[in-house]
Structure formats: C-alpha cells, structure tokens
Amino acid sequence: MLEKLKTSLINSPVIKRGEYNYFIHPISDGVPSIDPHMVEEIAEYILQITDIKKVDTILTIEAMGIPVANALSLKTGIPLTIVRKRPYFLEGEVELSQSTGYSKGALYINGLKRGDRVIIVDDVISTGGTLIALVKALKTMGVEILDVISVIGRGTGYLQLNEVGVEPKILVTIDVSEKGVEIKNVFGNE
Ligand SMILES: O=P(O)(O)OC[C@H]1O[C@H](OP(=O)(O)OP(=O)(O)O)[C@H](O)[C@@H]1O
Ligand code: HPA
C-alpha cells in the first residue's frame, strides 16, 4: 500500500529552513522529478477513501497540491479549482492569510460559490496553518467540504482542523528530524 510514496519518503533529504526541519520530496516540492507512477498510486488510493461522485470540484492549493489534485481531476472528469497565491481582483474573490512553519503569505479563492461541494487535496499538512485558514474561509463562503485529504502529514497541526469539525485523511504520517524522515502511520492502518 502506497509503497512508492513510503520508500521515497524514507529517502528524503532534510534541510533547515530557520528552525524548521524541512524534508524535500517530489510530491511536496517537485524536486527531484515526480514519478508519474507514484502520483497514480496516490490518486488511486484517494479514490478508494473518498466518495468522489458527490464532488463538484477538487480544490487544491498552489503549488504542490496541484500534481495529485490534477491526477484526480483527469481520472474522474471532475473540475479542478486552485487556490492561488496571487490576486485576480475578480468579483467574489476571497483573500485569506496563510502561515506555515517557514513562511507567511496570502491566498486567494476564486471560482467557488455557496453550496458547492468540494474535497480539499493538498500535499502536506504540518502546522495546519494553511488548511485551517482555508477551511474557515470556505465555511464562511458556504462551501460544503466533503473531505480534506493530505498526502503527507507531519506533527500535530492536523488537530487544529478537528477544532473546526474536520478530520483530515492523511495518507502517510511521518516524523521529520535532522536525522531524516521516519514513517509513523498509513491511513487505514490505524
Ligand atoms: O500545515 P502547514 O504548516 O500550513 O504547511 C503545509 C503547506 O505548506 C506547503 O505549501 P507552501 O506554502 O510551502 O507552498 P508550495 O506548495 O508552493 O511548496 C504545502 O503545500 C501546504 O500547503
Ligand atoms: O517539510 C516540508 N517539506 C515540504 N513541504 C512542506 N510543507 C510543509 N512542511 C513541508
């Protein structure tokens, strides 16, 4: 189960970004090159754990949620909506603040309306700062969140989502230290 993802995660280099131990992996960084068979493996797995038929749009966040979310879109014919890091000043655009363990910025939602049913797909959840801000904004907009799926999870940031009534599905949970990456859990194996 998710063998390509697990093997490659264990082999990820870890660098320092300030105090933050940052792992580098194709799915979360596009570096080194992304193996399409690994993306396929991940997309197949996600389709087994979510009820995709009810979804109006697959929602992801620029940049590194895109490869997996796009694979899901191609496989299902369900449109892809990308939360961007730049504004377009369109009517109804919603701005939110993003904060991760190593960066701060703004995100912009376009193309969603009240009542739309979405799944959120992202590459990594760490502090939870990105997804909590997005979930809060979507709830205010009246968008229905059917599932929140992260390919990789690290730390306890996902618990913040529990506080707003969301239990994210994290495919592979890891520990990251200066020594490297360790696999802690695979979704469905709890
Ligand atoms: O749980 P958090 O601490 O918020 O971290 C997770 C976020 O960090 C990464 O995004 P980043 O802003 O680095 O952008 P990228 O996808 O362009 O690499 C990742 O894609 C998640 O969106
Ligand atoms: O350590 C990380 N690596 C890659 N992407 C990330 N997004 C949050 N944390 C990380």
Burial 58-76 (b: 16+ CB within 10 A, else e): bbbbeebbbbbbbbbbeee
Percent share of the chain, pLDDT over 70 = 99
Judge if the beta carbon of residue 124 lies within 6 A of ligand 1: yes
Residue 54 DSSP symbol: G
| pLDDT, tens only, 35-57 | 999 999 999 999 999 999 999 99
C-beta separation of 165 from 176 below 8 A = no
ipTM surpassing 0.95, yes or no? yes
Q: pLDDT band for 190, please (50, 70, 90 cuts).
A: low
| CATH class of segment(s) 36-175 | alpha beta
pLDDT in tens, 47-92: 999 999 999 999 999 999 999 999 999 999 999 999 999 999 999 9
pTM over 0.80: yes
Closest alpha carbon to 81 in 99, 103, 47, 55 = 55
Asked if residue 189 has pLDDT above 90, the reply is no
> Pocket of ligand 2, candidates 11, 23, 62, 99: which has the most ligand atoms within 8 Å of its Cβ, to mutate?
23
Say how many Å lie between the CA of residue 125 and the centre of ligand 1: 7
The residue whose C-alpha atom lies closest to atom 19 belonging to ligand 1 is 124
In the chain, where the domains are located: 36-175
